[in-house]
């Protein structure tokens, strides 16, 4: 299963959600890979800590090979780094990714990521994306089976959400008919505030796929970032860690239900 976590709005928790859900998958025994396509490299640093500063092979080298037609390109596995967590690896990012974006776009290498990921042997792949719809994000949406959309409950985010849904629908129509929007993840939810509850209710009333599990706002996540430990490894009994586990269970149950339904139709 290949999932992309995407929102064109920054600061909605893409990297945090990607790494925490991937960490849960790995902790439960799935061979799991995180692909970091954001030049800010937040997922990379979250999973590797200070070791991110000494990496030799990153996603920059992976994509640079696509431009230089090497006779013996390095296999994708050579760009993947092990994390301190069992079953969890990362294809790391760095700031130089930004410099390649325009060249890759102009040379139309948009399907290369899908080809590379289809050849890998992982149970789950989670793709973190930049807060923009350009080459890296489009490549991820073309490569993925499903898209998860982090969402924080304010009016600006809500307005941007409709455009985002249209953009994903266009990618599906033009490049990846199997791509589905698996759900909208409400992040930084404040249960005692009126506006977030109202926004969630209205989005559900519009028929949008807002997931049942809501992720609470918590300062604990900043400690998680600082220590480079996803919540399941930092404090698995914390409320937010339990919410991430519940979210993972919700996604897994829905995935199994879809597979069962597809089998019946066949």
Q: List, in order of start, the domains of the chain with CATH numbers.
A: 2-257 (3.40.50.300)
Residue 124 phi/psi, 5-degree rounding, is: -140, 140
From first to last of the 266 residues of the chain, give the pLDDT tens digit.
999 999 998 889 999 999 999 999 999 999 999 999 999 999 999 999 999 999 999 999 999 998 877 667 899 999 999 999 999 999 999 999 999 999 999 998 999 999 999 999 999 999 999 999 999 999 999 999 999 999 998 878 888 899 999 999 999 999 999 999 999 999 999 988 888 999 999 999 999 999 999 999 999 999 999 999 999 999 999 999 999 999 999 999 999 888 888 777 86
* Cα–Cα distance for residue pair 71/63, rounded to 1 Å: 15
- DSSP E strand stretches across the chain: 2-5, 32-36, 81-82, 88-91, 124-128, 146-151, 180-186
* Cα–Cα distance for residue pair 217/199, rounded to 1 Å: 16
pLDDT for res 158: 87
pLDDT for res 103: 92
Q: Say which residues have a Cβ less than 8 Å from residue 7's Cβ, sequence separation at least 6.
A: 14, 131, 149, 150, 151, 160, 164
DSSP string covering 208-262, please?
--B-S--PBP-THHHHHHHHT--HHHH-TTSHHHHHHHHHHHHHHHHHHHHHHHH
pLDDT for res 192: 85
* Cα–Cα distance for residue pair 129/134, rounded to 1 Å: 10
* Cα–Cα distance for residue pair 180/146, rounded to 1 Å: 5
Collapsing DSSP states into helix, strand and coil, what is residue 25? helix
* Cα–Cα distance for residue pair 93/44, rounded to 1 Å: 6
Q: Please, are residues 218 and 235 in contact by the beta-carbon 8 Å criterion?
A: no
pLDDT for res 71: 65
- How many Cα neighbours within 13 Å face the side chain of 98? 8
pLDDT for res 155: 79
Closest residue by Cα to residue 140 from 149, 131, 132, 129: 129
Task: Report the predicted TM-score, pTM, of the whole model to 2 decimal places.
Answer: 0.95
Closest residue by Cα to residue 6 from 184, 145, 176, 166: 184
| Structure tokens that stand for 190 in this block | 């404040």
């Amino acid at each position: 299963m290949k999932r992309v976590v995407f929102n064109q709005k920054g600061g909605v928790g893409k990297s945090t959600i990607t790494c925490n859900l991937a960490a849960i998958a790995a902790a439960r025994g799935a061979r799991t890979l995180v692909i970091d396509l954001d030049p800010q490299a937040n997922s990379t640093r979250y999973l590797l800590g200070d070791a991110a500063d000494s990496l030799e092979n990153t996603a920059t080298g992976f994509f640079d090979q696509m431009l230089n037609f090497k006779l013996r390109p390095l296999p994708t596995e050579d760009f993947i780094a092990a994390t301190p967590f069992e079953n969890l690896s990362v294809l790391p990012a760095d700031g130089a990714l930004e410099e390649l974006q325009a060249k890759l776009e102009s040379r139309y290498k948009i399907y290369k990521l899908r080809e590379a990921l289809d050849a890998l042997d992982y149970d789950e792949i989670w793709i973190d994306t930049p807060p923009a719809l350009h080459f890296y994000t489009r490549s991820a949406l073309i490569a993925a089976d499903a898209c998860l959309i982090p969402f924080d409950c304010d009016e600006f985010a809500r307005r941007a959400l409709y455009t985002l849904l249209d953009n994903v629908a266009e990618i599906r129509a033009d490049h990846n008919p199997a791509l589905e929007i698996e759900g909208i993840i409400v992040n930084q939810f404040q249960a005692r505030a009126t506006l977030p509850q109202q926004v969630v209710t209205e989005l559900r009333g519009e028929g949008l796929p807002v997931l049942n599990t809501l992720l609470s706002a918590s300062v604990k996540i900043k400690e998680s970032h600082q220590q480079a430990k996803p919540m399941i490894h930092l404090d698995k009994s914390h409320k937010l860690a339990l919410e991430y586990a519940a979210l993972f269970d919700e996604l897994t149950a829905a995935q199994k239900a879809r597979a069962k339904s597809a089998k019946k139709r066949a």
